[in-house]
Amino acid sequence: MSLRIVVTVKYVPDATGDRHFADDLTVDRDDVDGLLSELDEYAVEQALQIAENADDAEVTVLTIGPEDAKDALRKALSMGADKAIHVEDDDLHGTDAIGTSLVLAKAIEKAGFDLVVSGMASTDGTMGVVPALVAERLGVPQVTLLSEVSVEDGTVKGRRDGDAASEQLQASLPAVISVTDQSGEARYPSFKGIMAAKKKPVESWDLSDLDIEAEEVGLDGAFTKVEAANERPARTAGTIVKDEGEGGKQLAEFLASQKFI
């Protein structure tokens, strides 16, 4: 039986761009170019490796996002994923983590799955909670923040490097995993991959396809509210000296003046 892998990927504003908030205090997606979150490239990579090591597997990439989020799906398809699902609905604008996990879980169930692979965090929201929430909703094991992962005989194993210890984890499929940027460099799409991706199927679903009411998601359904967003004042220009042999001593003098020594 084929191993059905669903990879959740997010389309995010480029972190090196000048990111802002829109008037409704959601992330402004108009002024900065978007792209497949770099941290989700690692998820696509591990999903492809797991699929390559399985007898028979199918990798579906799933995103919730605006029209342009198709670019993220295309990138994942050109890396080698088999097909894509785009959940797009105007009512999704402003959805928070709890709502995102609802939509992802419904879409994953509709698609059918044995393994869900997510990134460690999105590069815009950086919450790192969606995979745990999706596991909770699907009622399957959460095997998250893995720096190393393998799947064999219906069992997923991996290494989670925590603050206090490094742990070896194990769970039976179906399961939700997330992988870190230590899990292995993501491949670049080949020219062939880019051409092939153009022909791969991308399904579009809206909220009604998932039996979700508009009030459950979006800004209206949100469980949290951003009340103010202010640009951090630029740091006041500091003192910069050129080392002419006394740089270390000058720095020590500064640290002493600030009572660090």
Partner 1 sequence: MAEVLVYVDHVDGAVRKPTLELLTLARRIGEPVAVALGNGAADTAATLAEHGAVKVLTHDASEYGEYLVVPKVDALQAAYEAVSPAAVLVPSSAEGKEIAARLALRIGSGIITDAVDLEAGDEGPVATQSVFAASFTTKSRVIKGTPVITVKPNSAAVEAAPAAGSVEALSVSFSDKATGTKVTARTPRESTGRPELTEAAIVVSGGRGVNGAENFSIIEALADSLGAAVGASRAAVDAGWYPHTNQVGQTGKSVSPQLYIANGISGAIQHRAGMQTSKTIVAVNKDAEAPIFELVDYGVVGDLFDVVPQLTEEIKARKG
Ligand X SMILES: Cc1cc2nc3c(=O)[nH]c(=O)nc-3n(C[C@H](O)[C@H](O)[C@H](O)COP(=O)(O)OP(=O)(O)OC[C@H]3O[C@@H](n4cnc5c(N)ncnc54)[C@H](O)[C@@H]3O)c2cc1C
Looking at residues 92 to 131 of the shown chain, list those that interact with ligand X (rule: CB under 6 A): 123
Peptide bond into 233 cis (omega under 30): no
Q: Which two tokens stand for residue 72?
A: 């993220």
Calculated CA dihedral for residues 161, 40, 33, 208, nearest 10 degrees:
-130
- Interaction between residue 189 and ligand AMP (CB under 6 A): no
**Length of the chain in terms of residues written:** 261
- Give the Cα separation of 73 and 53 in Å (integer): 23
Q: Which of 64, 76, 138, 176 binds ligand AMP (CB under 6 A)?
A: 64
Smallest distance, partner 1 to C-beta of residue 13, A: 9
- Interaction between residue 14 and ligand X (CB under 6 A): no
- Give the Cα separation of 23 and 149 in Å (integer): 42
Residue with tokens 């790192």: 128
Q: Which of 132, 151, 173, 217 binds partner 1 (CB under 8 A)?
A: 132
Q: Which of 28, 38, 209, 216 binds ligand X (CB under 6 A)?
A: 38
Looking only at residues 84 through 143 of this chain, which bind ligand AMP when binding is defined by CB under 6 A? 97, 100, 104, 118-119, 121-122, 125-131
Site string for partner 1, 170-189 (x = CB under 8 A): xxx--x----xxx-------
Q: Which of 40, 224, 34, 24 is nearest to 126 (CA)?
A: 40
Q: Which of 2, 161, 190, 208 binds partner 1 (CB under 8 A)?
A: 161
3-state secondary structure of 73: helix
Smallest distance, ligand X to C-beta of residue 37, A: 8
3-state secondary structure of 68: helix
Which residues of this chain interact with ligand AMP, rule CB under 6 A? 8-10, 37, 39-40, 43, 63-65, 97, 100, 104, 118-119, 121-122, 125-131
Which residues of this chain interact with ligand X, rule CB under 6 A? 38-39, 123, 181
